[in-house]
Structure 1
Amino acid sequence: MPLTIKTLIIFSFLLLAGCSSAPSQNSQGNEVEETVNYTDDRDPLEVINRPFWTFTWDYVDKYLAKPASEVYTTYTPPFLRTGLYNMALNLNEPASIINNVLQLKFENAAKSTGRFVLNSTIGLFGFYDPASDFGWAGEQEEFGEVLGSYGIGDGPFLVIPGLGPSSVREEVGDYIDGLYWPMSVISFWPNIARLSILALEQRAAVRDQEQLVLDSADPYEFIKNAYFQNMNYRLYDGNPPIVIDEEQEAEIEALLEEFD
């Protein structure tokens, strides 16, 4: 989605959040401050996010994203599909180089540099991926991960209408990534094509996990928890630290002592 549109949506979140706690009048005409109790500190905008999630999952995904992804993956020749996806990812490599350097991951930065140079030349602007034959493969780094590596939290959970789960940190990171070359010079329609290819492939990739969402007691909570787990997984390059809930551990120990 173009940056200006996403910025307006996020601004609308903040505006609506302010309206949700605006004072009202009771039957006697006295002004009463309405407050909303949130059970999840990560999701202070839940009252807004839930309707946006319903709209995204029950309507946009059901009637647009999922059918479009199925048509695309079914009727697009595999070699063309792979090539277009490679080209879309290749445009992210310059940003990944800088983001790796900012995290002092110089080896990964060197691999991203090699990937971009080799795939953009021999690989015909990224359509082919000869860099993988040299072992130059790896997850691309986003600026949101750079912020996380320096201790900046995810911030409030967001559901972007029509797009799905996100967070303030991820949106800030995406904005910065969009300022890097070549993203900063790509015109509107080529960028829409790039984002469409990425979105269609990402929707196809989660097709097998779709039933987990449908079977969950609360799909919104399921998606939110999965989102934060995925962000944490990516932040620590697949090796997130094990967090021990001391209060829960104490309750378990007390329960075991009763049986002794």
Structure 2
Amino acid sequence: MKSRTYTLVIIALAAALTAGCASVAERDSRDPLESMNRAVFSFNEGVDKAVVKPLAKGYKTALPRLVQNGIRNVFSNLDDATEFANNLLQFKIQAASSDLMRVAVNSSFGFMGLFDIATEMRLQKHNEDFGQTLGRWGFANGPYLVLPIFGPSSFRDGLGLAVDSHFTDPVYQIKDVASRNDALGLQLIGQRADKMDALAALEEAALDKYEFTRDFYLDRRAGLVYDGRPPASE
């Protein structure tokens, strides 16, 4: 799955470059590859409807809330390692120190992250990745891009995902392929279960789901890169 993640990202970026040469009509300057992106978006919706959503429903029904919280906390604890690396790369020393403390506290007193003791100790949880790090370093977002399975992204964030999955995300560093895929599958299903109500409300709303998802993603990413204070151009 680790190599598959990298391959999917690279294939999507290459396909986007090819499609960009034939792009004519542009509804949104941030999304010059809209036709291709909508096709991938439809594919992802189909996979979600046929596989991911039913599994997420079963997950929510079968597992007690306490167990779901524990699983979420374990992955959050692992994710703090990615936060630490990227805060360090962005020279956010105080935030990086907090991330490191969170991992130490939750991995020991929280039984490998099952319990989020660090938050109770007021050690702040951050949201950082290499896509944001590239943004802080001055790399432009690039065209909006929908990745197969992974969903909304951009050229910059797609490259960031490839780097994180290869170097900073502990889940992708699991050497046993079957165990790694099981962990990634559980993480995906758990995340989908957490978004069940929000996505159900979006389904019922009378709007263009693709457009809403794109605009929300790009606005949110700009906010994350600039810590809530994006420049007007973003």
Match of 1:114 among 101, 115, 118: 101
1:173 partner letter? G
Displacement after TM superposition at 1:228 (Å): 0.5
Aligned to 1:190: 179
Aligned to 1:254: none
Displacement after TM superposition at 1:244 (Å): 8.4
Displacement after TM superposition at 1:74 (Å): 1.6
Cα RMSD after superposing both structures: 2.6
Q: TM-score normalized by structure 1?
A: 0.78
SS at match of 1:165: strand
2:37 partner letter? N
Range moving further from structure 2, 86-95 or 197-206: 197-206
Q: Aligned equivalents of 1:107 and 1:35: distance in 2?
A: 44
- Whether 2:198 is the aligned partner of 1:199: answer no
Aligned to 1:27: none
- Whether 2:141 is the aligned partner of 1:151: answer no
Range moving further from structure 2, 160-169 or 119-128: 160-169
SS at match of 2:146: strand
Whether the 8 Å contact between 1:165 and 1:224 is mirrored in structure 2 is yes
- Whether 2:42 is the aligned partner of 1:54: answer yes
- Whether 2:120 is the aligned partner of 1:133: answer yes
Distance 1:88 1:220, change over 3 A: same
Q: Structure 2: give runs of 5+ residues left out of the alignment.
A: none
Whether the 8 Å contact between 1:96 and 1:141 is mirrored in structure 2 is yes
SS at match of 2:119: helix
Whether the 8 Å contact between 1:213 and 1:222 is mirrored in structure 2 is no
Within 5 A, what are the aligned runs for 1:1-260? 2-17=1-16, 20=19, 36-57=24-45, 59-178=46-165, 179-180=167-168, 182-183=170-171, 185-187=173-175, 188-210=177-199, 211-237=201-227, 239-241=228-230, 243=232
Q: Structure 1: give runs of 5+ residues left out of the alignment.
A: 23-33, 246-260
Number of corresponding residues:
231
Q: Aligned equivalents of 1:19 and 1:168: distance in 2?
A: 13
Displacement after TM superposition at 1:224 (Å): 0.7
Q: Aligned equivalents of 2:130 and 2:25: distance in 1?
A: 32
* Higher Rg: 1
1:172 partner letter? L
2:28 partner letter? D
2:97 partner letter? A
